[in-house]
Amino acid sequence: MMRRPFLPLVAATLALAAGSALAQAKWDLPTAYPPANYHTENIVQFAKDVDAATGGKLKITVHANASLFKAPEIKRAVQSGQAQAGEILLANFANENPIYALDGVPFLATTFAESKKLYDVSKGPLEKLLAAQGIKILFVVPWAPQGIYVKKEINSAADLKGVKWRAYSPATARIAELVGAQPVQIQQAELSAAMATGAVESYMSSGSTGYDTKTYESIKHFYDTQAWIPKNAVLVNAKAFDALDAATKDAVLKAAATAEARGWKVAQDKNEEYKKLLAERGMTIHKPSAQLQADMRKVGEVMQADWLKAAGADGAAIIEAFKKP
C-alpha cells in the first residue's frame, strides 16, 4: 500500500540526485497539533530561524495536525528516519519507560516553575534513553496545567463514575480507572469528531486544547484543577543531525534553545488567555470544590506511588533532586 511515509524517502533521493547531500538538507517535521496552536507556531518559527541562519541550507517542512503521522507514530518515524525530525507528547510513551510518564503524574509539578525544575532534573535520563534509540532532543515546551472538561457539573470525583472519558496517555487512562470513569484513547486530532458523536463526555487537558478542538460546542464546564503540566519534545534523528556540517549544527542548536525559551514563555502567557477565550464562548470555568480537589489529590498520591515503584532507584533519585529546595 502506498503511504505518506514514503514521501521523505523520495525527497531524500531527489536531494541526492541533485548533487551533494550536504549542499542543501531537507527535513520533514511531523507534529500532531493544529497550525494555530502555540506549539506548532513555535516550531514553524524555529524552522524559519534555521532557514535564515543557514542561508537556506537546511529546510525544515512542518507537517501539522497529524497530517503526516499520527501522534503515537511520530517517535518511531524519527527513530527509523522516515521523518528526520518530529514533535511528540512525552507522556504518550509511558509504556516504553516510566521516565516518559513523569510529567503526567498528577500533583507532582503543578506550576510552570515546578514543571521547569522537574524537566531540569529529568532531562539527563531522558536524553540518555532517547540517545540509545538514535534520537536527539532539540527542545521541550510545556502545555498548561491540566483541568477537567465535563458535560455536567461535578462536586467530587464520584460524580465522574461511568462518564465517557477521553484519555490521551496511559496516565490519563489510569485517572479514569481510579475515579471509575470509562476511558477511551483519542488523540487531539480526532477529539472534535469524538465529542460531536457523544463518544466523549469528559477529559483532562489544558485551555489551549479545549479551545483548539472547540470543546465548548458540546462541553460547558472546565474545572481548573491545575493537576500537572505535560510537555512536548521536538526530536531529531541523530544520523540526520550528524550529517549536517558544523555551522548548520550550531544554527540548529541555537534556534532550538531560542525556541525552548520562547515556548516556555508563550505557554505561561497564554494560559489565562485560553481560559478567557473558553469563557467567552460559553464555558464556565470553575474553581474545583474542596472535595473534588481532595479526591484528585488522592488519585495523584496513588499514581506517584505507582510511578516510584515502576521507576525504581533511578526514579527515586530524580524525585529527590526535584524535591531538593
Binding site for ligand PCA (CB under 6 A): 89, 143, 168, 188, 205-206, 209, 230
Nearer to ligand PCA (CB atom), residue 100 or residue 241: 100
Instruction: Find the shortest distance in angstroms from Cβ 207 to ligand PCA.
Output: 8
- For 6-19, give the DSSP string: GHHHHHHHHHHHTS
Least distance to ligand PCA from the beta carbon of 163, Å? 17
Q: Nearest approach, Cβ of 205 to ligand PCA (angstroms)? A: 3
Residue 21: how many other CB atoms lie within 10 Å? 12
- Nearest CA to 261 out of 93, 42, 11, 80 is that of 42
Q: Which is nearer to ligand PCA, 34 or 98 (CB)?
A: 34
Nearer to ligand PCA, 40 or 237 (CB): 40
Residue type, 99: I
Q: How far is the CB of 130 from ligand PCA (least distance, A)?
A: 19
Give the residue among 27, 18, 19 at the shortest CA–CA distance from 236. Answer: 27
Phi (first) and psi of residue 138, to 5 degrees: -90, -55
Residue 34 or 125 with smaller CB distance to ligand PCA: 34
Tell me how far, at minimum, the Cβ of 188 lies from ligand PCA, in Å: 4
Q: Which is nearer to ligand PCA, 84 or 208 (CB)?
A: 208
Q: Which residues of 273-289 are buried (b: 16+ CB within 10 A; e: fewer)?
A: ebbebbeeeebeebebe
Q: What nine digits make up the cell of 217?
A: 460546542
Instruction: Write the DSSP string, 158-225.
Output: GGGTT-EEEESSHHHHHHHHHHT-EEEE--GGGHHHHHHTTS-SEEEE-HHHHHHTTGGGT--EEE--
Residue 142's beta-bridge partner residues? 231
Residues 6+ away with beta carbon under 8 Å from 23? 57
- Closest CB 167 distance from ligand PCA, rounded Å: 9
Measured from the CB atom, is 5 or 72 closer to ligand PCA?
72
Compare residues 191 and 256 and give the one whose CB is closer to ligand PCA.
191
**Least distance in angstroms from the C-beta of 316 to ligand PCA:** 26
Give whichever of 29 and 200 is closer to ligand PCA, judged by the CB atom: 200
- Nearest-5° angle of CA 249, CA 255, CA 259? 140
CB of 209 to ligand PCA, least distance (A): 4
Spatial distance between the Cα atoms of 211 and 221, rounded to a whole number of angstroms:
13
Sign of CA dihedral 67, 73, 75, 76: negative
